[in-house]
Amino acid sequence: MKAYLVLIPAFNESADLKKVLNDVRGNIPQADILVVNDGSTDHTSEIARNADVMVLDIPYNIGYGGAVQTGFRFATEFGYDYVITIDGDAQHDPVSAKNLIKAMEQTGADVVIGSRFLHGDYKMGVARKAGVLLFSKIAQWYTGVQFTDPTSGFQILNRKVFSYLAEENNYPLDYPDANIIMAMHKMKFTVTEAPVTMREKPGGKSMHSGYRPFIYVMRMFLSILMVLLRKEE
């Protein structure tokens, strides 16, 4: 086992997963790779297994957050020191992982979030951009730290954090974004950002596309309310 685990949650990502795995191997050679297949109905699991990486198959789709938490539990059980989360849709460029690792080493932070907005002008839809700005302000109000990209799933977490998030009720099954930043701050974990490169998906496909930004905003407000109401442990 290596110190680093690259965790890739994947739901029907057969079109991009092979490229993602090749890019991860080429840019993060010091890491083991785990694909959490979140109930895919395509060839996601087969592609991952043919690439000779570790695979966990969830029999039905439980959601992005549930897949990530499954990976956290795996990392906790097998004693990894750091987890790097990368999406399976080729949006996150693994070459930027070195920025996350360097920022963690230099700052001593428990979590480093990869921000697409610190590296350049990343284009996104008006509704989604408004949501990012809104929850950036809420996270800053609560933590006192400015976050430019609270919805980013490109992160590195140390063992203290991912082992805590692996516990039941400590991580949401759907959208782990600003609510998790606030929850980690409440638990006295330190969180910072580092610049990363993200690619636009062809056709703008995203779990926040279409009508989903509005559902996302409502759910995120509820999740943030739960963080505020939850008693410190």
Predicted pLDDT of residue 83: 98
Q: Which two tokens stand for residue 214?
A: 């509005």
Cα diameter, the chain: 46
Residue 145: give the domain boundaries.
4-229
How many domains in the chain? 1
Taking only the tens place, the pLDDT of each residue in 134-178 is: 888 988 998 999 999 998 999 999 999 999 999 998 998 777 788
- The highest-confidence range among 96-105, 140-149, 177-186, 205-214, by mean pLDDT, is 96-105
Beta strands 191-195 and 155-158 are unpaired
Task: Provide the CATH number for the domain around residue 105.
Answer: 3.90.550.10
**Dist CA 180 CA 178 (whole Å):** 5
pLDDT band at 204 (very low <50, low <70, confident <90, very high): very low
Taking only the tens place, the pLDDT of each residue in 56-93 is: 999 999 999 999 999 999 999 999 999 999 999 999 99
Q: What are phi and psi of 51, to 5 degrees?
A: -85, 0
**Dist CA 16 CA 92 (whole Å):** 11
Residue 40 has pLDDT above 60, yes or no: yes
pLDDT band at 129 (very low <50, low <70, confident <90, very high): confident
CB 70 within 8 A of CB 56: yes
